[in-house]
């Protein structure tokens, strides 16, 4: 008995340890190599050059933290950060409110529900730059003409030419494209709620509004978290829609961080904008860690 028991324990231990097949590493290797060559190596090189005075080509010298110190006193850079974060917060709120309300409406017992869902997700598959140019024409020509014909003074001028209101146009167009993605996530969350919950609520006398506030919203809270995190991270990298609508104007009032970095690359400020991109990368990581700490263990799907 004493000689058999250790053997059984040993065999049980060996059976509980799952061995990874070498073929898995073979399939992982190409993706890992491509990610390293396309993302990791260029990123490390960029961080290295952020400590130099390189313009992207030719000779360069080390300058230490000169670029980083200059960034914190550059009003154009600070303006781009202020605009990007403000735009991201407002757009996240607008997108999630509209997407959630549409999801509730499209999840109700209505006719042509599938067809309407298909129509509402079309903007998601259209290129952002194409959408921006179409809306640019509408804001610059169609709406001012309609405002002049209707005698509405504030609509006779384009929003894109107003440094105080141009960001509103960017939020509208960005939300128009981003709502479908959030809409699909909310629909998936609403479909996962058992119908028995609503039937029990109706028996207890709860109205539609009470069911929405006390049942639907709490049960899709995890999906709200997903949409907020994905949306905020995506809007921080806003570029193509801004280029197509305002190109960062009027002046630099709607220039995002991504647009500032890319414009600097084209103007010979390679090292300076690499320092800006590095700071933005660190800020994005800190935001991600903060979001993970706030959502860990809560609203798990």
Chain segment 215-266, per-residue pLDDT in tens: 888 889 889 988 998 899 899 999 999 999 999 989 889 999 999 999 888 8
Kindly give the confidence (pLDDT) of every residue in the chain, 301 residues in length, as a single tens digit, with 9 standing for 90 and above.
Answer: 444 444 444 444 445 567 778 888 888 898 899 999 998 999 999 999 999 998 888 888 999 899 999 999 999 999 999 999 999 999 999 999 999 999 988 887 777 777 777 787 888 888 888 999 999 999 989 988 988 888 888 888 888 988 888 999 999 999 999 999 999 999 999 888 888 888 888 888 888 888 888 888 888 988 998 899 889 989 999 999 999 999 998 988 999 999 999 988 888 889 999 999 999 999 988 988 887 777 665 544 5
Determine the pLDDT at residue 153: 83
Please tell me the predicted confidence (pLDDT) of residue 13: 46
* Partners of 62 in the β-ladder: 52
List Cβ neighbours of 124 (8 Å cut-off, separation of 6 or more): 177, 180, 181
Contact 47, 65 (CB under 8 A): no
pLDDT of residue 116: 78
- Print the SS3 string covering the chain: CCCHHHHHHHHHHHHHCCCCCHHHHHHHHHHHHHHHHHHHHHHHHHHHHCCECCCCCCCCCECCCHHHHHHCCCHHHHHHHHHHHHHHHHHHHHHHHHHHHHHHHHCCCCCCHHHHHHHHCHHHHCCHHHHHHHHHHHHHHHHHHHHHHHCCHHHCCCHHHCCCCHHHHHHHHHHHHHHHHHHHHHHHHHHCCCHHHHHHHHHCCCCHHHHHHHHHHHHCHHHHHHHHHHHHHHHHCCCHHHHHHCCCCCCCCCCCHHHHHHHHHHCCCHHHHHHHHHHHHHHHHHHHHHHHHHHCCCCCC
Which residues does 173 contact at the CB level (< 8 Å), separation at least 6? Answer: 131, 132, 135, 241, 245
Q: Note the pLDDT of residue 298.
A: 52
Cβ atoms < 10 Å from Cβ of 29: 10
> Half-sphere exposure (CA, 13 Å, Cβ side) for 165?
9
Q: What does the domain layout of the chain look like in residue ranges?
A: 4-49, 75-295
Q: Which residues contact 154 (CB under 8 A, 6 or more apart)?
A: 147
Q: Model pTM greater than 0.85? A: no
pLDDT of residue 17: 62
Rounded Cα distance between 90 and 255, Å, is 16
| Whole-number pLDDT of residue 56 | 83
Q: Which CATH number is correct for 75-295, 3.40.640.10, 2.40.50.90, 1.10.3720.10, 1.20.272.10?
A: 1.10.3720.10
pLDDT value of position 213: 86
Tens of pLDDT, residue by residue over 98-120, are 999 999 888 877 777 777 777 87
pLDDT of 147 reads 87
Whole-number pLDDT of residue 257: 93
């Amino acid at each position: 008995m004493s000689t058999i028991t250790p053997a059984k324990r040993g065999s049980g231990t060996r059976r509980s340890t799952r061995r990874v097949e070498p073929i898995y590493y073979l399939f992982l290797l190409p993706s890992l190599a491509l990610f390293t060559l396309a993302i990791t190596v260029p990123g490390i090189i960029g961080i290295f050059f952020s400590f130099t005075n390189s313009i992207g080509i030719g000779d360069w010298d080390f300058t230490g933290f000169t670029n980083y110190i200059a960034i914190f006193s550059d009003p154009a850079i600070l303006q781009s950060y202020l605009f990007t974060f403000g735009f991201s917060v407002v757009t996240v709120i607008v997108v999630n409110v509209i997407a959630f309300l549409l999801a509730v409406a499209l999840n109700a017992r209505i006719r042509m529900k599938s067809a309407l869902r298909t129509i509402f997700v079309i903007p998601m598959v259209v290129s952002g730059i194409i959408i921006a140019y179409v809306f640019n024409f509408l804001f610059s020509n169609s709406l001012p003409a309609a405002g002049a014909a209707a005698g509405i003074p504030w609509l006779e001028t384009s929003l894109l030419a107003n440094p105080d209101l141009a960001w509103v146009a960017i939020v509208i167009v960005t939300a128009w494209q981003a709502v479908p993605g959030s809409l699909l996530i909310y629909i998936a969350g609403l479909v996962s709620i058992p119908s028995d919950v609503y039937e029990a609520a109706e028996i207890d006398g709860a109205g539609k509004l009470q069911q929405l506030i006390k049942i639907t919203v709490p049960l899709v809270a995890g999906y709200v978290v997903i949409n907020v995190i994905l949306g905020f991270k995506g809007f921080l990298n806003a570029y193509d829609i801004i280029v197509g609508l305002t190109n960062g104007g009027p002046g630099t009032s709607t220039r995002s961080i991504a647009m500032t970095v890319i414009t600097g690359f084209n103007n010979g400020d390679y090292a300076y904008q690499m320092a800006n991109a590095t700071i933005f990368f660190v800020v994005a990581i800190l935001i991600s860690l903060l979001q993970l700490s706030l959502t860990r263990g809560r609203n798990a799907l």
